[in-house]
């Protein structure tokens, strides 16, 4: 009789990770650490944090790694001198990330770089037939139509890592897609949900970086404070689940335990709950359709007792409306929204602009953009580069109008 597959005789899933030194990358490696019998790291991509990457190389022995540029590659070489680890091939730049993402022996890419820099490696992995565990939402925001078409053509799985999209994906299991009526995306609301508009005029990056519930990288933490993160997630949900934007709504839920909900055509609502710990959706994407037995603390709903939900204040958080608008306009507009946001957030973190200048920069760049219909990859990358230049010009000239 054929032996049943069990944990002992099942071969390990081989994974590549881009963004391994970031918050999601580190949590992914924590899952690998806990399930060394299930996962094997083949390739890693980081930016400039080569000291941490060197430690990851010693611990996980990847065959190939890529870093941001030639200087970072040289520093990494030096750091690895004398270390006992087997030295991986060291690459750098966009081509290096694509090679890490599409590493021939890998089964899956965990796409955890921040920003639209993750788009080309993610596409390279899809085209090479790898399943994708997607944290890098900017990839779907900028090029949702291209990415989902590539996924369908390559017949690979696109598994959400974002906790909200993982919740929706889980709520949809066992249901016909046509039975979905509405997606109800929850949002913690970030650190400023109770602040007045006047108080928000003068908030510092330090205050904006103090998220009440989640520990994340700086860009997504600022996006959470402006609610742009929820706007990007609306666009991400639109592409992941093929749901028209009119059927997606956002609900502030400060406890962050209901990660999102799906309302079905019969009136049933299915929600997924858990403590705010990204290792849960990461592990689910990595092991889907199985679930791994983790020792992550359990949600004690009966101790929390009260859950709150209320509508977002679209005037206080204009970024959310801009994202809905970009999603409705479609074509190159979401790529422009995303690139302008990345540039504005970078300037805010560098204290070059204020909190409310972020939506002003984005709105101005969107106003200047004439979206090109049915854009190919070249047009998307062109729109992204154009939007960054326009946003920088506006910031340099201090032209942020309120």
Ligand X SMILES: NC(=O)c1ccc[n+]([C@@H]2O[C@H](COP(=O)([O-])OP(=O)(O)OC[C@H]3O[C@@H](n4cnc5c(N)ncnc54)[C@H](OP(=O)(O)O)[C@@H]3O)[C@@H](O)[C@H]2O)c1
CB of 106 to ligand X, least distance (A): 17
Contact 125, 96 (CB under 8 A): no
Verify binding: residue 117, ligand X, rule CB under 6 A.
yes
CA 338 to chain centre: 12
CB of 113 to ligand X, least distance (A): 4
How many residues make contact with ligand X (CB under 6 A)?
Answer: 29
Verify binding: residue 22, ligand X, rule CB under 6 A.
yes
In whole angstroms, give the CA distance from residue 13 to residue 107: 6
CB of 56 to ligand X, least distance (A): 10
Q: How many CB atoms lie within 10 A of CB 293?
A: 7
Residue nearest ligand X, Cβ-based: 22
Task: List the one residue from 34, 49, 247, 299 that touches ligand X (CB under 6 A).
Answer: 49
Verify binding: residue 21, ligand X, rule CB under 6 A.
yes
Strands (E), 253-394: 258-264, 269-273
Query: According to the 3-state scheme, what is the secondary structure of 227-262?
Result: CHHHHHHHHHHHHHHCCCHHHEEEEECCCCCEEEEE
Site for ligand X in 50-69 (CB under 6 A): 68
- Return the C-alpha torsion angle 13, 17, 23, 26, nearest 10: 50
Of 18 and 394, CB closest to ligand X: 18
Verify binding: residue 23, ligand X, rule CB under 6 A.
yes
Of 121 and 312, CB closest to ligand X: 121
Name, in order, each residue with C-beta under 8 angstroms of 172's C-beta and a sequence gap of 6 or more.
180, 241, 262
Verify binding: residue 216, ligand X, rule CB under 6 A.
yes
Residue span 125-144 as binding mask against ligand X, x where in contact by CB under 6 A, dash where not: ----------xxxx------
Continuous H helices in 69-176: 70-80, 93-101, 119-127, 137-154, 163-172
Of 218 and 382, CB closest to ligand X: 218
Of 156 and 278, CB closest to ligand X: 278
Of 21 and 243, CB closest to ligand X: 21
In whole angstroms, give the CA distance from residue 77 to residue 173: 46
Verify binding: residue 214, ligand X, rule CB under 6 A.
yes
The Cα diameter of the chain in Å comes to: 74
Task: List the one residue from 32, 40, 47, 357 that touches ligand X (CB under 6 A).
Answer: 47
- Of 178-186, 211-219, 257-265, 348-356, the window that binds ligand X (rule: CB under 6 A) is 211-219
Name, in order, each residue with C-beta under 8 angstroms of 40's C-beta and a sequence gap of 6 or more.
12, 13, 14, 15, 32
Of 20 and 186, CB closest to ligand X: 20
Of 107 and 233, CB closest to ligand X: 233
Pairing of strands 258-264, 180-187: antiparallel
Could you give phi then psi for residue 151, rounded to 5 degrees?
-65, -45
R_g (Cα) of the chain, nearest Å: 21
Verify binding: residue 160, ligand X, rule CB under 6 A.
no
From the list 263, 265, 189, 174, the residue with the least C-alpha distance to 229 is: 189
Site for ligand X in 256-295 (CB under 6 A): 278
- No. of H helices and E strands in the chain? 17, 11
CB of 374 to ligand X, least distance (A): 25
- Of 47-55, 179-187, 253-261, 303-311, the window that binds ligand X (rule: CB under 6 A) is 47-55
Verify binding: residue 359, ligand X, rule CB under 6 A.
no
The three-state secondary structure class of 194 is coil
Residue span 366-385 as binding mask against ligand X, x where in contact by CB under 6 A, dash where not: --------------------
Locate 342 and state its tokens: 């990345």
- Of 113-121, 123-131, 299-307, 347-355, the window that binds ligand X (rule: CB under 6 A) is 113-121
Of 236 and 263, CB closest to ligand X: 236
CB of 80 to ligand X, least distance (A): 16
CB of 177 to ligand X, least distance (A): 23
Binding site for ligand X (CB under 6 A): 19-25, 46-49, 68, 112-115, 117, 135-138, 162, 214, 216-220, 278
């Amino acid at each position: 009789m054929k032996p049943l597959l069990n944990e002992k005789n099942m071969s390990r899933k081989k994974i590549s990770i881009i963004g391994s030194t970031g918050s999601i990358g580190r949590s992914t490696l924590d899952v690998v650490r806990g399930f060394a019998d299930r996962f094997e790291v083949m390739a890693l991509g980081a930016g400039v944090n080569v000291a941490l990457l060197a430690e990851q190389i010693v611990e996980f022995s990847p065959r190939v790694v890529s870093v941001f540029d030639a200087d970072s590659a040289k520093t990494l070489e030096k750091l690895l001198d004398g270390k006992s680890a087997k030295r991986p091939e060291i690459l750098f730049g966009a081509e290096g990330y694509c090679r890490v993402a599409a590493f021939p022996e890998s089964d899956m890419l965990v796409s955890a770089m921040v920003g639209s820099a993750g788009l080309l490696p993610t596409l390279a992995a899809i085209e090479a037939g790898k399943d994708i565990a997607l944290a890098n939402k900017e990839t779907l925001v900028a090029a949702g139509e291209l990415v989902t078409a590539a996924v369908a053509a390559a017949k690979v799985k696109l598994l959400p890592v974002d906790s909200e999209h993982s919740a929706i994906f889980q709520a949809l299991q066992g249901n016909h897609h046509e039975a979905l009526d509405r997606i109800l995306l929850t949002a913690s609301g970030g650190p400023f949900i109770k602040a007045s508009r006047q108080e928000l005029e003068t908030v510092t990056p330090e205050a904006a970086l103090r998220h009440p519930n989640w520990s994340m990288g700086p860009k997504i933490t600022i996006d959470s404070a402006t609610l742009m993160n929820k706007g990007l997630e609306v666009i991400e949900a639109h592409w992941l689940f093929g749901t028209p934007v009119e059927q997606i709504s956002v609900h502030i839920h400060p406890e962050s335990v209901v990660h999102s909900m799906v309302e079905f055509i019969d009136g049933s609502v299915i929600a997924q709950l858990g403590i705010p710990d990204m290792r849960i959706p990461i592990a689910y994407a990595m092991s889907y359709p199985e679930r791994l037995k983790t020792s992550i603390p359990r949600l004690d709903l009966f101790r929390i007792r009260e859950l709150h939900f209320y509508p977002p204040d679209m005037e206080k958080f204009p970024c959310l409306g801009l994202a809905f608008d970009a999603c409705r306009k479609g074509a190159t507009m979401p790529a422009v929204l995303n690139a302008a946001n990345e540039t504005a957030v970078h300037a805010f973190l560098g204290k070059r602009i204020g909190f409310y200048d972020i939506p002003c920069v984005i709105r101005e760049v969107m106003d200047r953009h004439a979206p090109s219909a049915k854009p190919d990859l070249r047009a998307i990358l062109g729109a992204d580069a154009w939007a960054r230049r326009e946003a920088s010009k506006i910031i340099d000239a201090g032209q942020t109008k309120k």
